[in-house]
Structure 1
């Protein structure tokens, strides 16, 4: 999969190209990244990419033309995939969306806005989807773009062990259960005995119940989604009913 990122701060993306799972996946040829600075598509001496907003207001707005020229240049280079921008008013990025994108196997062009935003005419004519990674404001789209890249790349076949992605948070419809490792007792706290028993059925039962309890306590909305998508077993429903949750 190929990502082309339009950004004023290209060095930031070393975070995903030089570290961790995404770096190893790039070395294996599973994905590629190209960064493009819209200042290279300007014609004035100051390489201006922003201007004051019509109608007044604080801050500056990224101009449509340098961004549009950059997208057209990316298209000519071979990426004809989905164009995504980032803003608080976008669609919430979810595990379901990430998995859909991976299944579709389309290249992506990511637009990293800065300042107060991007000229709406560019968004209307060049952007396919606007994404939000949460109800908060960032200084620019670079961090959001790296979140998206990391979420997508780790799902690519061969990026990590398949079982690592099959049982993690959201993939089962629930949050992941707690994890423990050595030593067996740390600062007076022991690992739950069931995890030391070697009884796989009991461990699986404990793990599922822990996931149900954590999800119910912190993200009850996911219980409803799991129920609607058929990801709750009859055993899950009985556990939830026992703990006062209507199913």
Structure 2
């Protein structure tokens, strides 16, 4: 995968994007990653990339010319310009399904905004507008890093275990089940016996049920519209009864 980022602060990406799994993906040639300072593409002598909005109003807007010129540069010699993603509070909320979709692409370009907003004409070159949630950040850099991290970890051979991404929270429609490691007992807290049984069928069933339990207790909204299997319906009733008894 090739990822380009257009940013006024390329140094923000120096640490996070070259560490951990994303850093390994770059090192191993799985990911071609580059940050372009679009201030270098402005045509005015002062190197300004923003201006006041027509019609008045507070704040400054990113100008269309530097963004278009930077896009032309990163897309040249590319047979497929790929998807151009604008980080914007008005965009579609990012989730695991979107990460899985983006992970199928060959080329992604992220535009990180600042100031009050964008010249509306910038959107004519954009294929996707993404938001992390109902809040506003100082700029789009942190949002881009989150989307990139969630996407790149899904690429083949990035994670050490291919099953890890499949079993992640949200990938199955449920939150991930609890995990345990050594020691068996710590301060009176004991690893569930089923996980030590060696019976893989029972372990799989326990994990599935506990995923359902965790989702029901912590994110019941995720179960709205969820297509339950016959077994899951039985487990859910058991979970509700078990929770009532504990109370």
Q: How does 1:125-144 map to 2 (within 5 A)?
A: 125-144=124-143
Q: How does 1:119-130 map to 2 (within 5 A)?
A: 119-123=119-123, 125-130=124-129
Question: Is contact 2:18–2:26 with CA below 8 Å preserved after alignment?
Answer: no
Question: Is contact 1:174–1:226 with CA below 8 Å preserved after alignment?
Answer: no
Aligned to 1:189: 189
> How many residues are paired up?
239
Distance 1:58 1:190 in 2: 58
- Give 3-state SS (helix, strand or coil) of 2:224's partner: helix
Aligned to 1:56: 56
Q: How does 1:81-230 map to 2 (within 5 A)?
A: 81-103=82-104, 105-123=105-123, 125-160=124-159, 161-227=161-227
- The offset of 1:243, in angstroms, is 4.5
- Give 3-state SS (helix, strand or coil) of 1:226's partner: coil
Distance 1:243 1:185 in 2: 25
Residues 77/11 of structure 1: CA separation in 2 closer, same or farther (3 Å cut) = farther
Residues 59/188 of structure 1: CA separation in 2 closer, same or farther (3 Å cut) = farther
Distance 2:27 2:97 in 1: 26
Distance 2:12 2:52 in 1: 26
Aligned to 1:28: 28
RMSD: 1.9
- The offset of 1:201, in angstroms, is 2.2
Aligned to 2:43: 43
Segments of 5+ residues of structure 2 without an aligned counterpart are 242-247
Distance 1:165 1:114 in 2: 33
Which deviates more from structure 2 when the two are superposed, residues 206-215 or residues 50-59? Answer: 50-59
Residues 187/116 of structure 1: CA separation in 2 closer, same or farther (3 Å cut) = farther
- Give 3-state SS (helix, strand or coil) of 2:76's partner: helix
- The offset of 1:77, in angstroms, is 4.5
Distance 1:179 1:211 in 2: 11
- Give 3-state SS (helix, strand or coil) of 2:46's partner: coil
Distance 2:112 2:141 in 1: 5
Which deviates more from structure 2 when the two are superposed, residues 107-116 or residues 232-241? Answer: 232-241
Segments of 5+ residues of structure 1 without an aligned counterpart are none
- Give 3-state SS (helix, strand or coil) of 2:88's partner: strand
Moved over 6 A (4+): none
- The offset of 1:225, in angstroms, is 4.2
Distance 1:157 1:210 in 2: 28
Question: Is contact 2:43–2:66 with CA below 8 Å preserved after alignment?
Answer: no
- The offset of 1:236, in angstroms, is 0.7
* Per-residue CA distance 1:21-51 (angstroms, 9 max, x = gap): 1111111211111111111111223210112
